[in-house]
Structure 1
């Protein structure tokens, strides 16, 4: 795929850039402030010095109407002639949040380090945190931009600036994201199949109405007692996690502190059942009922499964951040996401701040989510347009993810293979990697420090796009 900058950009020659292009001047960077684009305006352009592993680059900030804040980073020298776009996490709203840290997930860092021109956006709004969604109240433009439009607009703006800065067009494009960024990656493949040659989708929250609307409301309701108190907390999570590991660690033939596939181990809860007076070492009937609901996933009164799977065995060490909180009051992000989404994003008419996950009706509300599903969701297994364009896609997910269930990703892959005529029909387009013991997006370190830093999907994707070598691993070299 070749990407030509828009006709409304500054008129530039269409010569193909050469890898390792000569150094650009600070004046050329500052001149980008005058770049003209349809429905977008440059707000700043400045040279950023080289720091640590990052080269010097021209940082350009752009607002694409109505309110998408975009940052483009253009290497001052050694541009490889390619483009790298990063997604964002949660409800986004914080421009370049991922690049404020040292990691690579949802960050421009991996592309910039390799000489790519890079870009990201806040997805179309400003938020105080990634769990805050008040911006969506009665704001369909912002919901649309978060849902899908910011992906295409970021690409369009970046290509215009690449054309103006390097006097040419990028010859290849990559998208990388995890969680909501993973949803954006799937959206890119489905709605913009010609824009990206390679896509990296991590722990994709591809079905927001099903996941955050239905499944997370189920999780919150199941863990709330009649008096409003929390049923399972960090202490119970430790008891459950220890018992799960003692029963399942060796199910894959290795005792290594990792559960290779939680579907392969049946847990006997009898050892956790309270029979003695020592309540601190066991689970009572109410706690066991919550655990059962968490494992099964959401169902209606007839017993119909409303969302694939539930919270996987082996994820318990990470529950404090996502589900239960800890004894210091930190974590418990799932209830925060569920409340914000239901209050401001999930329904055609927003119920507002008085709504809570306790109000979700599993008999009637799943159908009410269908309108916004058209805006947010990217879980179609039909990748035919992306496949026909020659795209390559790496999908990765941790088996110990307790916020975005890995079972949904497995089901999506199986469905995609089925409509492609089997895995052989899909293998030239998608490579799926399920990582034992890995937290959501590898945020919290696990056994032996396993985290996002242990992964490198970019190198195998580059090889796949360059010489057709299909990836066999995404683990970073030791």
Structure 2
């Protein structure tokens, strides 16, 4: 669909549609005037490897959303591709500095899309740095949802100025926090994107990062502050899981098709009662004193090979990102009143703290299963999640899909607009290679989404060919 863009004061109206834009056309974008936003730089980047030459435009949407737009100087396909960001974001274009397609503009640019991303509204030193949110509700709002719409508005203004016409189709792609953004987009901006790719969506941050991650930290911390389960135990546990559960799906391939089918005995592994207690708490997920589940599921069987990065660290002292995320979120982002830098996940109270995160839930969450407005607009969504994800539990995504099916009137109805792919053996967003080498490079959700949007072909697989 062609999008009408209100609020353009000057957009080089009347430019002819050209097969190739010049460096002067790119430089002229510095003079584009927009409401509550301004361009800070515009330059042509030469073609390299798989990327075509493009006009790189940096812009700021007020108060502080840094945006990068990449416009192919020739052979634009007439469409738009927007990427999310990971963790607490804060580093503009971070995903495109690496080789993965996750949260990157690269896959769109390679196929001729005009592309864009943002830092979600703040600058940070790393994706686990949440200090920017301390007593800063405007920044939290921009991270939660507003940066999605502002990135789209600014990018499409520049597209019209550069090419002389609006984009005809729009796609959003994101994983983890980017997956959360994908779901938020379907709820808050249901007509903005024709197609959405959501990977390992962290769609309920207060439930996941505050409640579940604090539960995992507390469960793995002894009374003297020492760590209960470490990388050695992770290796022993992982081997037992594979020995007993790999073949349950009928194939011994080093990947568990559905960890909910696993029934594992840990007897004879040399684990202490304290270690077994921690493992049991990790598997079940957070509960209050009454035994009520506070967040669906826990750490899945088959994810143990990735625990060093997320939960236990390794012998060299690397990894263990869950405590870092839980600490930053709890200190500065989770609660109605920020407790500040002295708070730790050990302070989380499972009886009282879940109810103290109503404001952040409203600002951040994208787990509402009623996506009827997006469906009515004709939107198509591919959702994928690794069954071996140790940080963003796949059980939440399965729960969301089941609830979305019910809200739509049945799974057959939901399948007209949503395709879910649960991938055995896949780490969180495919960051680390699993057994057999499966990682993000093994996936290609964009090709089937394009075929769904343009040819009506319902996706059957997201595995790269």
For the aligned pair, the TM-score class normalised by the smaller chain equals over 0.9
TM-score, length of structure 2 as denominator length: 0.99
Cα deviation per residue 1:402-452 (whole Å; 9 max; x = unaligned)?
Answer: 000000000000000011111111011100000000000000001121000
Note closer, same or farther for the CA distance 1:323–1:14 as it changes in structure 2 (3 Å cut).
Answer: farther
Cα deviation per residue 1:443-478 (whole Å; 9 max; x = unaligned)?
Answer: 00011210000000000000000011110000000x
Match of 1:223 in 2: 220
SS in 2 for 1:271: coil
Q: Is the 8 A contact 1:6 1:160 kept in 2?
A: no
Match of 2:148 in 1: 151
TM-score, length of structure 1 as denominator length: 0.96
Specify which of 432, 439, 458 is matched with residue 470 of structure 1. 458
Q: Is the 8 A contact 1:404 1:440 kept in 2?
A: yes
Unmatched segments (≥5 aa) in structure 1: 273-281
Match of 2:251 in 1: 254
1:127 aligns with 2:115: no
CA apart distance, 1:16:
10
Match of 1:431 in 2: 419
Match of 1:276 in 2: none
Equivalents in 2 of 1:159, 1:74: separation in Å?
Answer: 11
CA apart distance, 1:11:
4.4
Q: Is the 8 A contact 1:398 1:435 kept in 2?
A: yes
Match of 1:411 in 2: 399
CA apart distance, 1:344:
0.3
CA apart distance, 1:4:
2.5
Match of 2:372 in 1: 384
Bigger mean CA offset, 42-51 vs 364-373: 364-373
Note closer, same or farther for the CA distance 1:326–1:204 as it changes in structure 2 (3 Å cut).
Answer: same
Note closer, same or farther for the CA distance 1:218–1:16 as it changes in structure 2 (3 Å cut).
Answer: farther
Q: Is the 8 A contact 2:11 2:32 kept in 1?
A: no
Specify which of 30, 38, 41 is matched with residue 41 of structure 1. 38
1:22 aligns with 2:10: no
Match of 2:180 in 1: 183
1:320 aligns with 2:317: no
Q: Is the 8 A contact 2:7 2:35 kept in 1?
A: no
CA apart distance, 1:91:
0.1
1:345 aligns with 2:333: yes
Equivalents in 1 of 2:436, 2:127: separation in Å?
Answer: 29
SS in 1 for 2:34: coil
1:295 aligns with 2:283: yes
Cα deviation per residue 1:314-350 (whole Å; 9 max; x = unaligned)?
Answer: 0000000000000001000000000000000001110
Q: Is the 8 A contact 1:247 1:267 kept in 2?
A: yes
Q: What is the alpha-carbon root mean square deviation over aligned residues? A: 1.1
Match of 2:449 in 1: 461
Q: Is the 8 A contact 1:12 1:168 kept in 2?
A: no
Specify which of 162, 166, 170 is matched with residue 167 of structure 2. 170
Equivalents in 2 of 1:11, 1:398: separation in Å?
Answer: 43
Alignment size in residue pairs: 465
